[in-house]
Amino acid sequence: MNDKRTTSPRRRRVLSGLGAASLATVLLPRARAAVAPLPVEPWSQQPGEPGLWHPYGLPSDFEKDVVRRISRPPAMPGATSTLTPLGDLFGAITPNGLVYERHHGGVPLIDPAQHRFVIHGLVKQAREFTLDDLMRFPSVSRVHFLECSGNTASEWKGPSGLPVQMTHGLLSCCEWTGVPLSTVLDEVGVAPEAKWFLAEGSDAAAMTRSIPLAKGLDDALLVYAQNGEHLRPENGYPLRLLLPGFEGNTNIKWLRRIKLAAEPFMTREETSKYTDLQADGLARQFVFEMDAKSVITRPSAGQHLGGPGFYPVSGLAWSGRGCITRVEVSMDGGKTWRDATLQGPVQSKAATRFEAGWHWDGAPADLQSRATDETGYVQPTRDALVAARGLNSYYHYNGIQNWQVAANGEIRNA
Amino acid sequence: MTGVTIAHAASPYDLGKPIDAARLSAWNIDVSPDGRGLPPGSGDVAHGRAVFAARCAMCHGAVGQGGVGDPLVGGAGTLASAKPVKTVGSYWPYATTLFDYIHRAMPYDHPESLSADEVYAVTAFVLNLNGIVPENARLDAHSLPKVRMPNRDGFVPDPRPARP
C-alpha cells in the first residue's frame, strides 16, 4: 500500500494545481479512522485445483444446498416426485442435474445399444429403430418447459406455507434435441383412419398415454438430448417423447413404442389419474395443455431481505399455448400492477425470465406476479380458479402466487 | 397389429427396419375399451382371491382398502362431495383398463409377472370386491369388455380455452 505521506514531484505539482478546497479533500482521508485492508486470501497465495479435477464438472461446494428435494418420503421409492430449487436458479434454463422428476416405477438404467423404438398400428409399414437410427434423422433443438400437471396442487385450499421449490418445483425448462415425430411418422406412413397414438415407456410402470395424432404431426419431438448432452437417466435416457406445452406425464420417458389407432386407449393414467374432478362430480378428461402461469422465485418464501433498499423481483412465466407476452408484478397483494421486463428471447411454450425493480421502503408488502400469453389468456387468481374448477380438481393449478414480506425482511407463503 | 395396408411407399430416409407382429408380440400388450388386445385365457373370482392375497394384499390391503398402495374399493357416491374417494369402483370408467394396468405394471415389485389367467382372475376379484361382478363371475376376452363400470359416464371433455 502507498505511504500517503510520500509525495513525488509529480504529485506535488498536481496538488499545487488544486484549489484549497480540493487540497482539503485530498488531505481528509488521512484524518479518517483506519479500516482493515482487504485481506490477501489463502487462495490467492497458492495454486488451486488442477484442470480436470472433475472430468464431469460439479458446482462449488458452497452451492451444495442447491439440489432437488422431495416433499415427503414416498411409500415406494420409485413412485415419487423431486422438485427443482427454483428459488436458487437464474435465467430460463434448468441445469440438467436439477430438472424435476416424476416416476411411477423408478428409473430404469437402459443400455442405449439395446434400446429399440417401434412405431406400429395404423401405419403403412411398422418399423423399429435403434437410437443410432433416430440420431441420423434431421434434428431440431427447441427450448420448452416441462411441468407436471400436479405442480402447485398444495395451494388449492389456500397458502400452504411452503417455499417456492415445494410449491412450484415440478417445473423445468431445457433445450431439447431430437427428431420431429412428424418426420418419423412420414417414414412409416400414417393410415388415414388414424386419429390417436399410444405412447409407451419401457420402465417398470410401462407408462402409457393416448395422444391426439394432430399433436404428433404438429410440434411433437422424439428427443435424445437435453441442454447439449444426452438425456439424464431420470429424465428418460436414452429417448423420450416431448409434447411442447402438454402435461408432463404425456412426455413419456424411456420411450419404446408408439401405436397409431382410431380411438384413445383409455389407459390407467388418463382415466383413474390425470383427470380433473369438478365440483359436480364429473371429471375432465384429456386435459392436455398447461395454461399460462408465473411465479416470483426471488424474493420468495423462506428467503430474507436484509433491509430497505433496491431489490430485483425476479421469476418465471410460461404457457403451454405459446409465448408469454406480458408479466405484471404487484407489491400490494394485487391492488395495483405494473409491467415487469421479459428477458429474451421469449420462446413459444418455454419458460421466460421476468424481472422488475423494487425500492422497498421497509413496510410489509405482498408480492405477486401475473402472466399473459399470446392467446390473451391472463393467469387467474386462486379464487377465480376455484370458482371454475371446485376444490377437488387437484391438477392444473395455475393461480397467482403471493409472497408476504414482513417489516423485518422475513418472507412467508401466506 | 391392426390396419396395415399391403403396399407401402418408400421411406424418405430409409432409416430403421420393418417389424412384424411376431417381433412385437411381447410389447403389444395394450388393451382397448372394446376389448382389442385382450389375450386368450380366463379367470374367476375365487382364483383371483388367492392371487390377490399372495401378490396384491401386501400393498393394497386384504380387501383392497389400501395401504402403501391405492385403495381399490369404496368411495361410491363421494365424487361430488367435499372429500371424494376415487377407486376402481367409484371412479374408473372401463374394466378393460384394470386388465391393461395390472398386466403391465403390477405387482409393483415384479410387473408383467402374472399370467393372462391370473390377470383375468385378479380383475374379476377386484370387480367383485366393488360389487360390480358376482361371486361366480369368470372373465375373459369376451366378457370383460361387456362389464359396465358405475362411473362410465363420469367424464367430460376439456372445455378450455372457451371456458376456464
Going along chain A from its start, the domains and CATH numbers come out as 80-266 (3.90.420.10), 293-412 (2.60.40.650)
Q: Tell me, what's the pLDDT at B12? A: 85
Contact B8 A206 (CB under 8 A): no
ipTM of the complex: 0.93
Q: Which whole-number Å values give the CA distances from A327 to A20, A330, A379, in the listed order?
A: 54, 10, 10
Contact A394, A150 (CB under 8 A): yes
Cα A372 → chain centroid = 18
Which of A245-249, A300-304, A346-350, B6-10 bottoms out in mean pLDDT, i.e. has the lowest? B6-10
- Taking chain B, what is the end-to-end CA distance rounded to the nearest angstrom? 39
**DSSP secondary structure of B119-148:** HHHHHHHHHHHTTSS-TT-EEETTTGGGPB
Instruction: Please indicate if any CB of chain A lies within 8 Å of the CB of B159.
Output: yes
Q: Which domains does chain B have, with CATH numbers?
A: 39-146 (1.10.760.10)
Number of Cβ within 10 Å of residue A41's Cβ equals 7
Number of Cβ within 10 Å of residue A312's Cβ equals 12
User: Which residues in chain A have Cβ-Cβ distances shorter than 8 Å to B96?
Assistant: 266
pTM: 0.92
Query: Tens digits of per-residue pLDDT, A333-385?
Result: 999 999 999 998 999 999 999 999 999 999 999 999 999 999 999 999 999 99
CA distance A86 to chain B (A): 27
Query: Tens digits of per-residue pLDDT, A69-105?
Result: 999 899 888 999 999 999 999 999 999 999 999 999 9
Nearest residue, CB atoms, B27 vs list A118, A122, A377: A118
Q: What is residue A22's three-state secondary structure?
A: helix
